[in-house]
Amino acid sequence: MGDAAGIGPEIIAKAWPDLIPICRPVVVGDPLWLRWAIRLVGSTAAVRVIRHPDDFEPAHDVIPCLPASAQDLSSVEPGKVSAAAGRAAYDFLSAAIDWTRAGVADGIVTAPLHKEGLRSAGLHYPGHTEILAERTGTQQFAMLLSVPGLTVAHVTLHMALRDVFAHLTTAGIIEKIRLLDDVTRRLESREHPRIGVAALNPHASDGGLFGDEEATLIRPAVEAARVEGIDATGPWPSDTLFARARKGEFDGVVAMYHDQGHIALKLMGGMRAVNISAGLPLVRTSVAHGTAYDIAGRGVADPTSLVEATRVAARLVASKTEQGGN
Amino acid sequence: MGDAAGIGPEIIAKAWPDLIPICRPVVVGDPLWLRWAIRLVGSTAAVRVIRHPDDFEPAHDVIPCLPASAQDLSSVEPGKVSAAAGRAAYDFLSAAIDWTRAGVADGIVTAPLHKEGLRSAGLHYPGHTEILAERTGTQQFAMLLSVPGLTVAHVTLHMALRDVFAHLTTAGIIEKIRLLDDVTRRLESREHPRIGVAALNPHASDGGLFGDEEATLIRPAVEAARVEGIDATGPWPSDTLFARARKGEFDGVVAMYHDQGHIALKLMGGMRAVNISAGLPLVRTSVAHGTAYDIAGRGVADPTSLVEATRVAARLVASKTEQGGN
């Protein structure tokens, strides 16, 4: 459910009818807030409180909800930072991780949480991914962003553009190529997904005229990945790379910095963008937007990303089953 | 005509029927290469050699051609660098400038030229724009890139990403805002075109968390432009800015570096992208692609950008006439 003060409860209520054909969804969250959200969006679905994910079969008009937090959320207000909501979001995720690791659930889809909410509850995590990594003992992980037909891994992300140069390494690029290869193989059901690696400089440096990172950092990473049998190519000029990816020439793109990938993803996917945690020992996807406190509680939030995140998670679970698990 | 060894002649021959409804086109170039290109693309149009742009009325099946170079181009081969073709391209442009400055022609649309061709003819210009600037005595000029509904100015362009920081200045950003405001006012027939200025850092630095150029360089430029009466806003996070621009929220975007603008333009416009010279005392647009030596002479080149460049030039000329000059 994520942070109850955000748009999580209402996008779950709105998305519900579209989730049923995709999987057997169970809400790990607060039943009272779920009921409130159902009324808010004009749904007539009932909430059935359960103690185990298999207790009740989800249906169009019945939403099974697993309460998973001791927090009292009755004083939480939509759009207001709340320590109780922050702590509860952590509890919801923890329970989902436990059920998934126990093999009862197949994967996790998360609604957004709020960093300030977590912090005011004394929990110092930048987001869901770090909690998941800590609780599964994972060192090498990454958030991938996916729109229909294209998944992007970023080598660097939330830092000043000026700081990117010090954080780009051949090892970091190889790691992202590997994670992207693994996820896109499962997402696109393609044995050798086509990974396009973006250049850092315009025109991929035009043979060294505009910078040297293509020759010194990126090309060695592409070559190392190819030695491992990965169908990685590049470095490609980033402007033509994304246009080619949209035409279907690539299954995944490795971007060197935040805006390089995000400009293309926002133009290509809009609300259909989905976050995928790569490198974890469990399947987990997430909406690609935040808690949207500014519109929370108004019933206007768009559930598209949640539906897409569920679709992607289901596909990853299916491919895992086909391949005998990882 | 640009460089005769490139795709210039054949895209002119292909585009011709689409140019007639837009304007009264005259080819400044080599009549023999034009005839060759007409046959190459399977057209039956005739070439009429003229001495003055008004000598003959262009028609669907008759292409008036003004020879404007003393070069013998009979030994030029498609796709091969040629000093004669390079020199001739310079002569074609010079003649077009002369006719336009004399008020006989209203504007110039250029097919691509080849830097190596120019250089081998002893002409050391990076491209058309610098020739135009020199011959019109212009100091402040810029190449804008336009796709239907959006025009982009780049503050920095062909340099390593690492070098961008040393080249970004508040004065440079203001200058680009002004040039973009002028061109988009004419292109979109809007008294106060909406100019969105891109941030340099992800999330527009998130309040200084990821860099400071938004506060120290970009915001002061936006504020200075607003004092001049320009409807400039920003700095906006670049990923959402282009997505908003596509929805129609902005007429022009100022990008801080090459790939920031080009990733979006290639996704939004593809072959419909057009170069516009801003700041010159005459109207001049250009195809947004190169000579494409690899496919020159095969008749497969796409004339879309030339048609769009002509359409944009005609619109700029019309707005100039309406407003009584520039």
Q: What is the pLDDT of residues B162-175, one digit of tens each?
A: 999 999 999 999 99
- Whether B141 shows a pLDDT value over 90: the answer reads no
- The answer to whether residues A235 and A218 touch, using CB atoms and an 8 Å cutoff, is yes
What long-range pairs does A209-214 form, CB within 8 A, spacing at least 24? A209/B158, A210/B158, A210/B159, A210/B160, A210/B161, A210/B163, A211/B160, A211/B161, A211/B162, A211/B163, A212/B160, A213/A165, A213/A168, A213/B162
pLDDT at B322: 66
Within 10 Å of residue B44's Cβ, how many Cβ atoms?
7
CB contact under 8 A, A243 and B160: no
Higher model confidence: residue B17 or residue A322?
Answer: B17
The token duo for B29 is 């170039």
State the Cα torsion B170-A163-A227-A248 to the nearest 10°. Answer: -50
Confidence band for B128, pLDDT divided at 50, 70 and 90: confident
Tokens for B168, please give them. 């970004």
Q: Is the pLDDT of residue A40 over 60?
A: yes
Among A211, A237, A243, the residue with its CB nearest the CB of B162 is: A211
Over 70: is that where the pLDDT of A135 sits?
yes
> For the residues A159-184, what does the mean pLDDT come to?
97
Evaluate if residue B326 carries a pLDDT over 60. no
pLDDT at residue A88 in the model: 97
A266 and B239: CB-CB below 8 Å?
A: yes
What distance in Å separates residue A225's CA from the closest CA in chain B? 25
Contact B201 A257 (CB under 8 A): no
Distance from CA of B257 to the nearest CA of A (A): 9
Tens digit of each residue's pLDDT (9 = 90 or more) over A214-267: 999 999 999 999 999 999 999 999 999 999 999 999 999 999 999 999 999 999
Distances (CA, A) of A255 to A164, A241, A279: 12, 10, 18
Closest partner residue to B239 (CB to CB) among A158, A162, A259 is A259
Cα B240–chain centre separation: 26
Q: Do B159 and A240 touch (CB under 8 A)?
A: no
Mean pLDDT of A26-51: 97
Angstrom distance (rounded) from CA B68 to CA B53: 12
Q: Give how far A159 is from chain B: nearest CA, Å.
A: 5
pLDDT one-digit tens code per residue, A187-215: 998 999 999 999 999 999 988 889 999 99
Percent of chain B with pLDDT over 70: 98
| pLDDT in the model for residue B271 | 86
CA B199 to chain centre: 24
Q: What residues of A are in the B interface, CB distance below 8 Å?
A: 157-165, 200-203, 205-206, 209-213, 237-240, 242-243, 246, 257-260, 262-268, 270
> How far apart, in Å, are the Cα atoms of B228 and each of B27, B174, B224?
40, 10, 7
Whether the per-residue pLDDT at B282 is higher than 70: the answer is: yes
What is the band of A325 on the pLDDT scale with cuts at 50, 70, 90?
Answer: very low
What value does the mean pLDDT of chain A take?
94
Interatomic CA distance for residues A169 and A231, integer angstroms:
20
Nearest to B260 among A240, A259, A268 (CB): A259
* pLDDT value, residue B325: 45
- Dihedral angle at the C-alpha atoms of B164, B169, B170, B171, nearest 10 degrees? -130
pLDDT band, residue A269 (cuts 50/70/90): confident
